[in-house]
Structure 1
Amino acid sequence: MTFTIPRKLTRRSMLRGVLGGAAVSMGLPILDCHLNTSGTAFAGTNAPLPVRFGTWYWGMGHTPGYAVAEKKQTGPGIGFLEETLPLKPYEQYINYFSGFNMPLDGRSNYTHFTGWVVNRTGSAPSSSKEVPAPTIDLLVADVIGKNSRFLTLDASSSGISRENYSARNTNSRSAVETSPLAVYQRLFGSGFVDPNKSEFKPDPSVMVRRSVLTAFTDQSKDYMKTIGASDRQRLDEYFTAIRQVENQIELQLKAPPPNLACLMPSAPPAELAEQDRVASAREIDNVHETHEIMAKLLAMAATCNQTRVLNMIYTDNFANVRRAGESYTHHLLTHEEAIDPKLGYQPLTFWFQKRSMEALAQYIKVFSSIREGDGTLLDNMLIFATTETNHARVHTIDGVPVYMIGKAGGRMKTGMHVVGGGEPITRVGLTAQKIMGVPVDKWGTKSLQTSRPITEIMV
């Protein structure tokens, strides 16, 4: 294997090598040597650092009265209450939107479906399966993502591949990656597998057992000699992050230690075995761990310009997650659990919804911890975080909460609580598109159509 260091380092610089007989490549993060002296734009061209877009999804909304304090008018300051307290340390990066409505023009509210479809397409569905228009992530990707390796990267930590909230239309709702290993291989694998090669039998653990970094050990040392001290530290942080993710994935693949008290029963039917595997994947602690690894992988993909649009699902719209050893899912609890008369809410349901906010805080932390230019990766991102309902117990879709997170390359003011006053929620999605540079003057259909972005948060 040979490795050539380019005479002039560019923002597209990559390390390339061979691992286990497969070609691997590793995009490099944006280094100081790629930037102007102030760290705000690329050297030579003075082009600004790329702004990435992401969506983040959680099921079952908030607990009204216990999530975010109400406000009568738009202004700075977000009153995080008990359910959302994990977000408080990141208030400077967050805008919270409340009080926006979803007029359906006589169409039905298809529970746990209509809410996310309206939020992401600007149109109300006419059935429980219709996706009437392209989702917002694809509208943004068509503008900013064409020159990256992946138009979008879609990941879910809840283990349900069919539940992806990104689609061109009803018939193009593609599956989402549910395995951190699958995402890892997409980022660091050969980049192409012949779909017609019937004898192909991949060994998914080879990348983890040997580590993609082993393909670049000598080459990265040579590369380090060509860059400054700050960039060497930056690359060391990047390589360390990759190694940490590899170790986390490897732990998930290892067999448990022997336990003589555990006797293996007869194998169940194949379909039941699959159900049991999926059920285990949906235990909330496993979901949370998977989400953390996914977050790190997606952050690496954005850092190295593998993609500029990321979609992350924490829990699906029916929140089919549960505690280990318990049969009731989060979704079932919203219907069946009694309200505690002293607390004023459903305590187990509330626990799940707080876990969702812990996961969102975890996601924000990952992106805010990666240095880029004179700031962080989160300074050059806009994360559109949505759910499908306001109060899951009664399936309300008016007042569905939305968060917009990040500085979007300086295009967005943050730390604001934006009060909708009953106006269509499509104003939020239109604003996100305008901030991301999508050439759109109006968005939505019928009573949801709007041409009024929320200028209070736009720079």
Structure 2
Amino acid sequence: MNPIATNLKTRRSILKMGSSILALPFLETFAMAKGTSASVASAAPKRLVFLGGGYGFTHQSFYPKEAGRFADIGLTQGLKPLERHINDITMVDKLFNPNITDPHAGTAGYLAGAKNKVSCDQVAAQYFSGQARYQSLVLTAMGDNGTSGHGKGGLTLSCSTQGKPMDGIKRPIDFYYTLFGDGEKSPKEVEKMLAQKRSVLDVIASNGTTMKRRLAKHDQERLEEYFQSVRDIELGLERQAKWAHVPKPEAPFDEPSQDLTGVEEVKIMLDMIILALQTDSTRVATYRFPVESLLKSIEVSISGHVMSHYSSSVTKRQDSEKRDKAVMELFAHFIDRLKATEDRNGGTLYDSTIVNYGSNLRTGHTLRGCPTILSGGGVTNIKHGSHIVLPELTPTSNYWLTLLQEAGVEVNQFNESSGVVSQMLS
């Protein structure tokens, strides 16, 4: 048996801590694809993590009243859980998603900064394609009564290259088996399966090209979207073939309980994101926090949508503030984990990661002024520790373009962007 795997098994009792886990040292064996040299693997790659939730935050108690260094202006009641990271967070205010006018449309447009456009995580995922087992990890959540959630966009942050909301992994146990599952096919079986799929795709592409010449312009555009989906599948097959010979890392803790919900559910999902980054399972991850189960776990008895109409009720406002506190504690927990986990170059995951928490709404159902809270040492030209207030209606796409460039993605335009956010750059 692999000596690293043996060592992990003997440490399970130490690593298992209820719903949380201790950070592991860097596992070089699992972070290198076959044929990758140790010298190449020694350089820590950039990672991007996008976290988010719906309904924004409580207007009166969350947002700072002025711009400036947090050390000078202080943290609001809602931001207090981040106090231990006060010099490692940046809040950017007054961002706006043009063409999004429905506050019930869900969070799918947030990372796109526009309607029906690709999200920035998927742009980064395509750029880093092939460098990790999974091009990206899209983690979502179930809404009320097991549905996709209130609103048409559902509980997802990611949109495909066609601008469609992407479904994702919803339960901790499913995420666990995605990262560590051992019930996969042998490399030979995978190669045979891939060869069969490629032959089918070749036929589709050949027939489609012939068909395209006889179609009207509108139908040609629809067929081109279909071709893009085929190309995405082909890229996925290439990546799958590359990683078929690389074993998945051994799980450092037992599978999570299927009964986990709310705060504990979110914690274990965040902890597994840390492991996914550290074992190079992915370079890009998004996680849309659950709403209803999280509220129930902090003893809020009303739904997220009802709570969002808190302006006329002191009790609802108190519930909203309780939600803000819980969410920021979870964000602080994730930053803790990044800082405590060793990376391949001897530093920490924090040093090479860009992590953002935000919402498609500012507060309640207000579309203007979408909140973003940035952390991570993966940004080299941004000095943390400030609340930055931008001119009204600054496109959110400008913000995402700035982060993409900070991650090393070679792109000069992103959806509705008019340039980078120069106020963030040092």
- TM-score, length basis structure 2: 0.68
Matched, 1:347 2:291: no
* Stretches of structure 1 lacking an aligned partner (at least 5 in a row): 6-13, 20-26, 35-41, 126-131, 198-237, 254-279
Superposition pairs of residues 396-407 of structure 1, within 5 angstroms:
396-407=366-377
Of 154, 175, 178 in structure 1, the residue corresponding to residue 138 of structure 2 is: 154
Distance, in Å, in 1 between the alignment partners of 2:414 and 2:275 is 32
Residue 171 of structure 1: CA displacement?
7.3
What is the RMSD of the two structures over their aligned residues, measured on CA atoms?
Answer: 3.7
Shift in CA distance, 186/417, structure 1 to aligned 2, threshold 3 Å: same
Residue 135 of structure 1: CA displacement?
0.8
State the AA in 2 paired with 1:302: L
Distance, in Å, in 2 between the alignment partners of 1:359 and 1:46 is 31
Contact 2:382 2:424 in 1 (8 A): yes
Contact 2:140 2:167 in 1 (8 A): no
Residue 179 of structure 1: CA displacement?
1.6
Distance, in Å, in 2 between the alignment partners of 1:169 and 1:157 is 21
1:101-157 deviation digits (Å, cap 9, x = unpaired): 3443xxx6111437x44431132x3xxxxxx21111110111124221011112245
Instruction: Give runs of ≥4 in structure 1 deviating > 4 Å.
Output: 14-17, 72-78, 157-162, 169-172, 324-327
Matched, 1:99 2:67: no
Give 2:270's aligned residue. 295
Q: How many residues align?
A: 334
Of structures 1 and 2, the larger Rg is shown by: 1
Give 1:246's aligned residue. 254
State the AA in 1 paired with 2:383: K
Superposition pairs of residues 281-430 of structure 1, within 5 angstroms:
286-315=261-290, 322-323=295-296, 328-335=302-309, 338-340=312-314, 346-372=317-343, 373-392=345-364, 395-408=365-378, 410-422=380-392, 423-430=394-401
Of 49, 53, 59 in structure 2, the residue corresponding to residue 54 of structure 1 is: 49
Residue 450 of structure 1: CA displacement?
1.0
Distance, in Å, in 2 between the alignment partners of 1:168 and 1:64 is 32
Distance, in Å, in 2 between the alignment partners of 1:161 and 1:79 is 40
1:43-93 deviation digits (Å, cap 9, x = unpaired): 645963111111101121111231132224689767321112111111222
Shift in CA distance, 98/310, structure 1 to aligned 2, threshold 3 Å: same
* Stretches of structure 2 lacking an aligned partner (at least 5 in a row): 10-23, 32-36, 149-154, 194-248
Shift in CA distance, 362/72, structure 1 to aligned 2, threshold 3 Å: closer
Secondary structure at 2:48 match in 1: strand
State the AA in 1 paired with 2:330: A
Residue 188 of structure 1: CA displacement?
1.2
State the AA in 1 paired with 2:138: D
Secondary structure at 2:374 match in 1: strand
State the AA in 2 paired with 1:136: C
Residue 191 of structure 1: CA displacement?
6.3
Shift in CA distance, 80/378, structure 1 to aligned 2, threshold 3 Å: same
Distance, in Å, in 2 between the alignment partners of 1:81 and 1:450 is 31
Shift in CA distance, 171/409, structure 1 to aligned 2, threshold 3 Å: closer
Q: Which has the higher helix share?
A: 2
Distance, in Å, in 2 between the alignment partners of 1:161 and 1:385 is 23
Give 1:144's aligned residue. 128
- TM-score, length basis structure 1: 0.63
Contact 1:76 1:417 in 2 (8 A): no
Residue 306 of structure 1: CA displacement?
0.9
